[in-house]
Structure 1
């Protein structure tokens, strides 16, 4: 029997990852701000370095606007259907924000303008976990992680959410109890960490003719394809055999 050639519609989700372990950041494509907020864990207040949000609060010391933690979800919903150039850094409370030195404030302005840091972008005063830097159409998102393993947890959470959404959408007579849904684990993804440093496309696929099984296919991307061009070349990329497959 001739093996069926998969089409883009056969896959449930794609995420591009290129990890820079030294710089403590990851380049993503295929992740939205909404997905990040849903799956990165509870977020603190957000200091806005570049934005078009009209309902933000204002910090006199830094002369920058911010989003209080209780308004983060509303802030995120604002851009669900209208992505925008968005750059922010989280912080614990405004009292600590007021302790930033002129040098540190200048560094934040540089990050917001250049989307790169002069030195480590994790500040004692802010106690921040992330620096989030996306372009207007979210085709490339650069995220600094204080704990780089949080990037693995983010991806695992997003893909497992896709699986849950898929299974919850099945006819009621085929649904399984939530605890029986397959789940990708941190250990499975971290075991492929060396590959993620090279730039890969993760593609989630439901295995047919099984009770409940999913494959996460990992493909090295050709050097000729830039992250923001992946979706134009997706049909060609997925025709290539995966370099590795994680089954769960």
Structure 2
């Protein structure tokens, strides 16, 4: 994967492809620290299927390590992209882990190893909302969502937080200051669902900051599991007119959607 070495721009391009039947989203450009920030007030414990985190507890029944809820923030501060594979499933109480059957433990190991499910990976015993399966976190992420409302919340929060870091404004002294953008209205993102089911790139790097507004272009580029191929397709598509824009009105402080 030669391309990977050259992009330090994972953070300024977001690719998302929603698979409704499989109940998961494939993404590029959304990292674990952004994911954890979006759900910081509602995270559970994380059963670690693939990781290199060293501040864990051990569950005897599953023979797996887990990250207690109060250490998730510490885990989010790690450069988990260097782990290679980083996979976890959240759970409410350790008692739920102790009730898992051999078959269910086998299903979890299969998830972590092959990043595919044998059966829908939502377990009543765990009460899990997510299954998070990443290779070089931020490069290739496959996340199962019990409710896609959580996905749209993540996308809404992540776009605004990334823009705040990338699109800085000059002060009178020429210093660049960080801007605060409100989360993108979830209704706007929901209306993009037909596009997201096909696979879209939201290009923060190509965002146009003007005096009165900020325009963020979106291209529909298709379904990719190989993110080198996705990035090549984006490079070709980005020379053409985008399919939609999300526009922030700097006067009213509101987001709008423009479909071309």
With structure 1 as the length reference, what TM-score do the two structures score? Answer: 0.84
Query: Which residue of 1 is the match for residue 16 of structure 2?
Result: 17
Query: Which residue of 1 is the match for residue 228 of structure 2?
Result: 228
Query: Which residue of 1 is the match for residue 25 of structure 2?
Result: 26
Q: State how many pairs are aligned.
A: 235
SS at structure 2 position matched to 1:82: helix
The answer to whether the 8 Å contact 2:198/2:222 transfers is no
SS at structure 1 position matched to 2:77: helix
The structure-2 alpha-carbon separation of the partners of 1:85 and 1:153, relative to structure 1 and needing over 3 Å to count, comes to: same
The answer to whether the 8 Å contact 2:51/2:87 transfers is yes
Query: Which residue of 2 is the match for residue 40 of structure 1?
Result: 39
Query: Which residue of 2 is the match for residue 127 of structure 1?
Result: 127
SS at structure 2 position matched to 1:194: helix
Query: Which residue of 2 is the match for residue 5 of structure 1?
Result: none
1:177 is displaced (CA, Å) by 9.1
The structure-2 alpha-carbon separation of the partners of 1:172 and 1:140, relative to structure 1 and needing over 3 Å to count, comes to: same
The answer to whether the 8 Å contact 1:140/1:228 transfers is no
The answer to whether the 8 Å contact 1:16/1:227 transfers is no
1:101 is displaced (CA, Å) by 1.4
Query: Which residue of 1 is the match for residue 199 of structure 2?
Result: 199
Q: Separation in 2 of the partners of 1:44 and 1:228?
A: 33
The structure-2 alpha-carbon separation of the partners of 1:55 and 1:39, relative to structure 1 and needing over 3 Å to count, comes to: same
CA-atom RMSD in angstroms: 2.7
1:16 is displaced (CA, Å) by 0.5
The answer to whether the 8 Å contact 2:165/2:179 transfers is no
The structure-2 alpha-carbon separation of the partners of 1:230 and 1:119, relative to structure 1 and needing over 3 Å to count, comes to: same
- Return 5+ residue gaps in structure 2 as ranges: 1-6, 249-260
1:46 is displaced (CA, Å) by 0.5
Q: Separation in 2 of the partners of 1:134 and 1:177?
A: 30
The structure-2 alpha-carbon separation of the partners of 1:192 and 1:84, relative to structure 1 and needing over 3 Å to count, comes to: same
The answer to whether the 8 Å contact 2:84/2:135 transfers is yes
The answer to whether the 8 Å contact 1:84/1:138 transfers is no
SS at structure 2 position matched to 1:78: coil
- Return 5+ residue gaps in structure 1 as ranges: 1-7
The answer to whether the 8 Å contact 1:131/1:143 transfers is yes
Query: Which residue of 2 is the match for residue 144 of structure 1?
Result: 144
The structure-2 alpha-carbon separation of the partners of 1:202 and 1:118, relative to structure 1 and needing over 3 Å to count, comes to: same
Q: Separation in 2 of the partners of 1:82 and 1:177?
A: 29
The structure-2 alpha-carbon separation of the partners of 1:83 and 1:228, relative to structure 1 and needing over 3 Å to count, comes to: farther
The answer to whether the 8 Å contact 1:139/1:228 transfers is no
1:189 is displaced (CA, Å) by 0.8
With structure 2 as the length reference, what TM-score do the two structures score? Answer: 0.80
1:29 is displaced (CA, Å) by 0.7
Query: Which residue of 1 is the match for residue 97 of structure 2?
Result: 97
Per mean C-alpha deviation after superposition, the further-off stretch among 110-119 and 216-225 is: 216-225
1:80 is displaced (CA, Å) by 5.1
Higher RCO structure, 1 or 2 (CA under 8 Å, sep 6+): 1
Query: Which residue of 2 is the match for residue 153 of structure 1?
Result: 153
Q: Separation in 2 of the partners of 1:109 and 1:58?
A: 16
The structure-2 alpha-carbon separation of the partners of 1:226 and 1:81, relative to structure 1 and needing over 3 Å to count, comes to: closer
Q: Separation in 1 of the partners of 2:16 and 2:140?
A: 10
